[in-house]
Copies of this chain bind each other. A is one copy, B any other.
């Protein structure tokens, strides 16, 4: 393999740039040519592709977002789109791909390989952490720290009687972000998609806290919780506890940005190297990950289909620590 393409796809996450940098420099180090593909599969179809050198990735390791831009592509979901993408790769002589993204990205790569035989190695670039095949995804540690920093600031404000802060963090399908925010932020309640926490339970916990003369509460809500988002949960709890002073914070895309943490830069750098190494060793359609401090490759199929459940001990911790 003499020429590799690299792209980012799906929602961006902090550390994607560090991963791009590592892959590019590893390629340069090993004498392989590497081409950047802009805006994910869209740019592949349009031929928005350029040669990258060592200096192309100077001074980006600390930057949020992705210099290659990211996008979701409807066209790549059609056979015609993929054919056009293949034609472009042929034009540039690109023989293998590094894809930084999530399971949608990897599913596309799987199909693309079946049809056109172009091998891809993936790196898990998503703040959500819900990808099988790696202990942590690139961007997750940063997102959690960003949310936690916001929660700390809320904690600073003066205690007032009956004040309850409802803080919504990201997590459409999982509580991976919500859980460390709750434990590390000293929250009293956490609501996540994986478990049922009814409005009644929330109301009871608050009532019981007040009866023990606790006067200020933090409730962390993953955006994908069954009971609704933070605004909705706050309104429903308010109805039961009319004297309560509810305050809502929705962090939203704030969690996707910011300079990546040290852990995310290390992980992204390791995986960027592993993507190039993997392609050169002849691997294909696998995601590079780190499990128990060990570099691993997991098939895209496993990554997409297998679950990565949250450690149940962590849920228990919220209860113990808010005693």
Contact = CB atoms under 8 A, between A and B. Distances in A.
A6 interface: no
Contact of A65 (B22, B26, B158, B258): B158
Interface stretch (A102-110, A194-202, A248-256): A248-256
A82 interface: no
Contacts of A66: 158
Nearest to A28: B323
A156 interface: yes
A165 B250 CA distance: 12
B253 A250 contact: no
A144 interface: yes
Contacts of A186: 59, 61-62
A77 interface: no
Given A64-B156, A262-B144, A320-B29, A248 B250 contact: yes
B247 A249 contact: no
A56 interface: no
A156 B29 contact: no
A220 B145 CA distance: 24
B155 A59 contact: yes
Nearest to A319: B29
Interface stretch (A113-121, A264-272, A301-309): A264-272
A69 B159 CA distance: 7
A185 B61 CA distance: 7
A141 interface: yes
B269 A321 contact: yes
A1 interface: no
B253 A160 contact: no
Interface stretch (A88-96, A146-154, A236-244, A278-286): A146-154
Contacts of A3: none
Interface in A14-30: 14, 18, 21-22, 25-26, 28-29
Interface of A: 8, 11-12, 14, 18, 21-22, 25-26, 28-29, 54, 59, 61-66, 69-71, 135, 141, 144-146, 148-150, 152-161, 165, 180-181, 183-186, 231, 247-259, 261-263, 265-266, 269-270, 273, 292-293, 311, 317, 320-323
21 contacts: A8-B158, A12-B158, A14-B156, A25-B323, A29-B320, A62-B185, A63-B156, A64-B156, A65-B157, A69-B158, A141-B263, A144-B262, A153-B253, A153-B256, A165-B253, A184-B265, A249-B253, A250-B250, A263-B263, A269-B317, A293-B311
